[in-house]
Amino acid sequence: MNSPEPHGQLVLAATPMGHLDDASPRLREAMASADVVAAEDTRRARALAAGLGVTITGRVVSYYDQVEAQRTPALVEEVRSGSTVLVITDAGMPSVSDPGYRLVVACIEAQLKITCLPGPSAVTTALALSGLPVERFCFDGFAPRKPGQRKTWLSAYREEPRTAVFFEAPHRLAECLGDAVEVLGPDRRAAVCRELTKTYEEVRRGTLAELALWAADGVRGEITVVLEGAVAGEPDIDDLVAQAEELVASGTRLKEACAQLALRSGASKRELYEAVLAARSVE
């Protein structure tokens, strides 16, 4: 009888952003038992294990941006051969602006088991602390480094209704906020979250103009910025009536067309429907 194929797994685990007590029992167990620990920084991984009182028994390999593509195939083979491969980064969740995405995709393509140990995340922590609406939000990684590219990138937020979260280097924060004032206006609200969960945690809330003035003297630490979404003005009902008629002309039922446009614009579906009928009656 043939022996069954070995079944390993890829484990993504969130690590503390600063406070060791945020580490979950499952993270401790995974670090102690994994066959391979793929770490963004092996020295930090060993320091984390020591701080948690955990002995890593498996092999520790470095897995950072510059070697991610090169080392992914070997890690996939480890999982395929039956090993548990644990991926951890310096802080927070792997693959969220950190190494891990390539390995996840490769394991999916190879139909291998993947699981995740949830935990700390700068994105959701900053959202919760921002004081801004967070029912809908988008995450945009790191802001571009070059001023021209950054201004183009910021311009996408002129009409973005969702609250946005992004990371920025402390030495570029003042310039980034200054560009945001220029592109988005001084009155857009935002929050700058610094050193989340660490000893010197700080959250500054205010308008972009106020935050740019505060940051001008220099800021240290890891930075997460939360930006208020664009506030939509009152929808133009005549324009929406014209759009509804265009949709009807293309084969959409009037009620469905009104529902689509109301969802997009924030207008009342009933009022839009009645406005279309009223406009037809005077033609």
Digit-coded pLDDT (tens) for 246-278: 999 989 999 999 988 887 777 888 999 999 999
256 and 244 in contact (C-beta within 8 Å)?
no
Domain boundary among 120, 155, 185: 120
Q: 1 lies in a domain?
A: no
Domain boundary among 120, 141, 158: 120
Name the residue range of residue 270's domain: 237-281
Cα separations in angstroms, 8 against 78, 114, 143, 161, 227: 8, 9, 37, 43, 41
Separation of alpha carbons 122 and 48, rounded Å: 18
Q: What is the pTM of this model?
A: 0.77
Residues 24 and 95 in one domain: yes
Residues 114 and 15 in one domain: yes
Separation of alpha carbons 266 and 150, rounded Å: 30
Residues 142 and 154 in one domain: yes
**Structure confidence at residue 41 as a pLDDT band (50, 70, 90):** very high
Burial class (CB in 10 A: 0-12, 13-18, 19+), 190: buried
For the segment 153-169, the average pLDDT, to the nearest whole number, is 94
Q: 175 lies in a domain?
A: yes
118 and 48 in contact (C-beta within 8 Å)?
no
198 and 135 in contact (C-beta within 8 Å)?
no
CATH of the domain at 133: 3.30.950.10
Cα separations in angstroms, 196 against 50, 77, 132: 22, 36, 17
**What is the average pLDDT value for the chain, to the nearest integer?**
93
CATH of the domain at 113: 3.40.1010.10
Separation of alpha carbons 130 and 143, rounded Å: 18
* CA-based nearest residue to 83, from 5, 2, 4, 10: 10
